[in-house]
Amino acid sequence: MKVAIIGVGLTRFGELWETSFSHLFVEAGANALRDAGVDGKDVEAIFVGNMSAGRFVDQEHISCLIADQAGLNPIPATRIEAACASGGHALRQGIMSILSGFHDLVVVGGVEKMTDVMTESTTQTLATAADQEWEAFLGMTFPGLYAMMARRHMYEFGTTREQLALVSVKNHRNAIHNPYAQYHVEITVDDVLNSPIIADPLRLLDCSPITDGAACVVLASERKAREYTDSPIYITGSGQATSTLSLHSRKQIPVVDSTINAAKEAYKRAGKSPKDIQVAEVHDAFTIGEIMAIENLGFFNIGEGGKATEEGETEIGGKIPVNTSGGLKAKGHPVGATGVAQAVEIVLQLRGDAKGRQVDADIGLTHNVGGSGGTAVVHIYEKG
């Protein structure tokens, strides 16, 4: 049995002061159902990726809230939490529900409303995805954790400050052509290097923004998908893995074992290897994150991600276009929605609907990370 994506939907990403938490998901879900040509009454279940609505908007029990607001009662709705990998994890749960035979058609989405609290509260909430006893309690934040990873990568492999900046420059350039992206402005290496220091060596323009937004996809069994489309996008590989929650317990600080192991599972299930992937959306919450991702996913050797970025290998038109959407850095990072939004971008690319940023691809990959690498989820997509 195969699982297909037959519809996708997004909201605009950004500081959406005029929009409520529940409305974001309903808007993205309605867009996905419309895109699929599916009536809401045919939806059999909902899976929602969300990191921390309780802290961001004082709302728990969000699976019920979303089903209710979407007019989809009494179907089952389930919330999935895996920090910033919540969306990718929700997608995997939706896939498994169809492969198990329980359902033929489900909606998978992710949503986060992060701007309703002060930046300090947002930083504290995100830090709950780190080790509270040994990291957050001592004042460590996620920029600090990724700064340590960046500094060690630079020390071990010779990665340069300019190579980190080039990740941000590329992704901002790509985001200009994504109408849903938070930022539509090009930046230069000098802009990155001269932006305020957040945690050395990371500067402001190395870091993803605080973002509101939602994303949804409609999943269907192979049989059901053929009732709605002649050109489904199949998810042929799915992998999930964990690693130590705390950075100090890792064998190698600049190597994310969870990504390596999740990718191995996804490649095996899809019958593919890294050389088969033609476009990828990877987790670039910080610029060093993209460099580590393209190494850990097998696109480049460990330690060579910075050089590959500098040589344009990850550009549109390069060896492996990465983050054509603008990535978390420029598209935005509403943490619970990110993994699903990555899937939306790959579907658009494989359909040929990514206007202004289109690549020639039949096979794509998404990579979603929770925390500093405690969780990783990888999916592989192919044209039907």
Specify the pLDDT at position 138.
86
Same domain for 157 and 244, yes or no, is: yes
Q: Beta strand pairing status for 233-242 and 3-10?
A: antiparallel
188 Cβ neighbours under 8 A, 6+ residues apart: 169
Domain annotation covers residue 342? yes
Same domain for 160 and 279, yes or no, is: yes
Name the more confident of 49 and 137: 49
Domain annotation covers residue 124? no
Same domain for 154 and 57, yes or no, is: no
User: In terms of residue numbers, what domain contains 135?
Assistant: 129-208+236-383
Tens digit of each residue's pLDDT (9 = 90 or more) over 232-244: 999 999 999 999 9
Task: Grade residue 120 by pLDDT with cuts at 50, 70 and 90.
Answer: confident
User: Which of 195, 225, 255 is a domain's end point?
Assistant: 225
Same domain for 9 and 157, yes or no, is: no
Same domain for 106 and 197, yes or no, is: no
Domain annotation covers residue 369? yes
Task: Grade residue 304 by pLDDT with cuts at 50, 70 and 90.
Answer: very high
Specify the pLDDT at position 216.
98
Domain annotation covers residue 200? yes
User: Which of 167, 200, 225 is a domain's end point?
Assistant: 225
Is residue 137's pLDDT more than 90? Answer: no
Is residue 245's pLDDT more than 90? Answer: yes
Is residue 200's pLDDT more than 90? Answer: yes
Percent of the chain having pLDDT more than 70? 100
Is residue 101's pLDDT more than 90? Answer: yes
Same domain for 248 and 309, yes or no, is: yes
Q: How many CA atoms lie within 13 A of 123 on its CB side?
A: 14
Does the annotation count 216 as an active-site position?
A: no
> In the chain, how many domains are there?
2
Q: Which of 84, 103, 283, 379 is catalytic?
A: 84
CB atoms within 10 A of CB 190: 11
Same domain for 75 and 171, yes or no, is: no
Same domain for 335 and 370, yes or no, is: yes
pTM of the model: 0.97
Domain annotation covers residue 11? yes
Specify the pLDDT at position 1.
80
Q: Which CATH number does the domain housing residue 114 bear?
A: 3.40.47.10
Q: Which of 103, 153, 283, 333 is catalytic?
A: 333
Q: What is the mean pLDDT of residues 234-263?
A: 96
Same domain for 82 and 140, yes or no, is: no
Domain annotation covers residue 123? no
Domain annotation covers residue 230? no
Specify the pLDDT at position 313.
98
- Spatial separation of the C-alpha atoms in residues 221 and 5, rounded to whole Å: 9
Same domain for 373 and 302, yes or no, is: yes
Does the annotation count 207 as an active-site position?
A: no
Domain annotation covers residue 231? no
Specify the pLDDT at position 260.
98
Task: Grade residue 339 by pLDDT with cuts at 50, 70 and 90.
Answer: very high
Q: Which among 126, 351, 347 is positioned nearest to 215, based on CA atoms?
A: 347
Same domain for 200 and 220, yes or no, is: no
Specify the pLDDT at position 60.
96
311 Cβ neighbours under 8 A, 6+ residues apart: none
For all residues of the chain together, what is the average pLDDT? 96
Q: Which among 37, 77, 26 is positioned nearest to 225, based on CA atoms?
A: 37
Task: Grade residue 169 by pLDDT with cuts at 50, 70 and 90.
Answer: very high
Q: What is the mean pLDDT of residues 28-45?
A: 96
Q: Which among 280, 273, 278 is positioned nearest to 360, based on CA atoms?
A: 278
Same domain for 371 and 348, yes or no, is: yes
> In the structure encoding, which two tokens stand for residue 327, read together?
């990535």
